[in-house]
Structure 1
Amino acid sequence: MRVEKRKKKKKKKRTWLRITGAVLLLLIFGAGAYGYSVYKSFTNAVEAMHHPIDRKTSEKRKEQVALEKKQPFSVLMLGVDERKGDRGRSDTIIVLTVNPNKNSVKMLSIPRDTRTEIVGKGTEDKINHAYAFGGVEMSIATVENFLDIPIDYYMQINMEGFKDILDAVGGVTVNNDLDFTYEGVHFPKGEITLNGEKALKFSRMRYDDPRGDYGRQLRQREIIQAVIKEGASLSTLTNYDEIFKALGSNVKTNLTFDEMVQIQKNYKTAGNHIEQMTIKGNGTRINGVFYLIVSDKEKQRVQSELKKHLELN
């Protein structure tokens, strides 16, 4: 029973990271045009979120990415459940690549159990252990090595703050194509409005969906698109202070205010086209520990797609 509860909790965290990522992308891409009052609130939030790391340029890049030249860039999103006296682990790992020339964002979820080299530790282990061993810096180095692409920026998200962030944008309205009931909540077909808690349940159900996990992914995309639409609407502007406070309290990033302004100026419309990617592997046990083994062929497929989107030679 306890194992089942822990699994449900991990699934909840992964879902909320995708939703929070969409909200944060929206704010970066669109916040610059909302006037002085919003500007002031946004700068305060950015100041609270800004946590630079001792790493100026990726080893996978010859020169630092130039946002003013509209060069494609990447972001590593880490969903972390921090505990007192313990750094915790990044149970959710998502890589975003943003290309203004193709006007799109690619979003890749890396399974936490993926076995890979932990760069700086000299061992192979689950990829999410990199954060426990060496924090954000080791996580970036390990993900770069695994995907063979540069990681330009990071966002670390406190998993406990998700409901506050989604509720701050006033909930979301989605078009539901499947009538179902999940954890005591009925979701009828058609247009429905969801608060943070209901949106989570809407995203989690898959066993009663004839499409399985594919159906769940469709609902998650519905929520991401609805968050962007809701955030861009005039009604949400009345909650901007609450939105920024929720982000400032739950997000850390090495993005500076000036860099966010450049992204808003040069990459604004890319956030409207988010494509989700998946990486496949086979589960196995090594010395009694479960790992996901990703084949070289699958890694090359994903690496090639991300490199192309980042316009790397």
Structure 2
Amino acid sequence: MTELRRSNKQKKRKWRKIVLIIIGLIVLGIGIYIFSLWRSLSTALDAMYQPIRETSEKRLEDISLEKSDPFSVLLLGVDEREGDRGRSDTMIVLTVNPNTESIEMISIPRDMRTEIIGRGTLDKINHAYAFGGVEMSIDTVEHFFDIPIDYFIQVNMEGFKEIVDAVGGVTVENDLEFSYGGDHFEKGTITLNGDEALNFARMRKEDPRGDFGRQLRQRQIIEAIIKEGASLKTLTNYSEIFTALGNNVKTNLTFNEMVKIQKHYKNAAKDIEQHQIKGSGAMIDGIYYYVVPDEERQALQNLLKEHLEIDGA
């Protein structure tokens, strides 16, 4: 009987060792996975980071993400092709206020006529990027809205397809049947690969809403990418996703700033208000422009200043 008990105890110890070994291997495997994930993320962040001037001249006091100060972001969708610097075909200003738990989003028409800061000329606002890159785009947008732009995020639209394919394609709701670039898009729920998503986001002339319709589709693709990127199925594909982001996204946000925004500002996404700039088309010297009345510009300035809690709104 004693020998039997001893044998049973030995068997239990053996199985405990086996279980501990299995658990250890699992933990080790997770550790290797996390290390690999972190290494890929760090490489992508290094490739994405593009510093610009320290602080906007329109910022009288530095913002503190630790203290949850409201901040602004300029989103740039740049159509860069080989041998061409490109233009910012998509320009969206975001102001983020964690105190009101809200985001104000203003889509800027690519043909909007305004002063290009740094050149002293009146031109289409999307030409600012072609003339002076990110910094001239920021300076011009700051001048138009009379607010500081704290951060920028630039997405290369030509490389958009690489990001879409990395997350396994995207699904969107299409409200307009059309064909573009050799692809046909039916109305309703459609699933797109990278090439299709790029054509879906680029079409403008066949849309009765013009640039506003294209901006809507581009926002749909961006939202779908975020949704797919956050899903569990992408965990096994993280390396390809990070590589695609590193190749096609630039920002002056540091990793620490991203962590602080995630920590202190995540509730701001509860309420997102989207605005379109009201104006009218006009031919000036034989060139088409989108002209914004002074009262509309002033109303937008007041809206953003109030949301950023800046004096003078």
Which secondary structure does the structure 1 equivalent of 2:141 belong to?
helix
In structure 2, C-alpha distance between the alignment counterparts of 1:229 and 1:60, rounded to whole Å: 34
Which of 89, 92, 97 aligns to 2:90? It is: 92
Match of 1:155 in 2: 153
Match of 1:51 in 2: 50
Which secondary structure does the structure 1 equivalent of 2:66 belong to?
helix
TM-score normalized with structure 2 length: 0.75
Deviations 1:47-106 (A, max 9, x none): 0111112x2111211122211111121111223334666543323222122222333333
Give the root-mean-square deviation of aligned CA atoms: 3.3
Q: How far did residue 140 of structure 1 move?
A: 1.1
Instruction: Report if the CA contact (8 A) 1:57-1:63 is conserved.
Output: no
Greater Cα radius of gyration, structure 1 or 2: 2
In structure 1, C-alpha distance between the alignment counterparts of 2:277 and 2:286, rounded to whole Å: 24
Deviations 1:207-255 (A, max 9, x none): 9999999887776665444433322221122222111111111122211
> Residue 121 and residue 199 in structure 1: after superposition, are their counterparts in 2 closer, same or farther (change >3 A)?
closer
Residues 81-230 of structure 1 mapped to structure 2, 5 A cutoff? 81-82=79-80, 87-174=85-172, 180=177, 182=179, 185=184, 187=186, 189=188, 192-199=190-197, 223-230=221-228
Which secondary structure does the structure 1 equivalent of 2:91 belong to?
strand
Instruction: Report if the CA contact (8 A) 2:80-2:158 is conserved.
Output: no
Report % sequence identity: 66
TM-score normalized with structure 1 length: 0.75
Match of 1:28 in 2: none
Give the structure, 1 or 2, with the largest relative contact order (CA under 8 Å, sep 6 or more).
Answer: 1
5+ residue gaps, structure 1, are: 1-33
5+ residue gaps, structure 2, are: 1-32
> Residue 210 and residue 252 in structure 1: after superposition, are their counterparts in 2 closer, same or farther (change >3 A)?
closer
> Which residue identity is paired with 2:289?
Y
Deviations 1:186-224 (A, max 9, x none): 6464x5543334445666789999999988777666544
Match of 2:279 in 1: 281
Name which of structure 1's ranges 112-121 and 263-272 shifts more when overlaid on structure 2.
263-272
Which secondary structure does the structure 2 equivalent of 1:298 belong to?
helix
> Residue 248 and residue 205 in structure 1: after superposition, are their counterparts in 2 closer, same or farther (change >3 A)?
closer
Instruction: Report if the CA contact (8 A) 2:160-2:198 is conserved.
Output: no
Number of residues paired by the alignment? 277
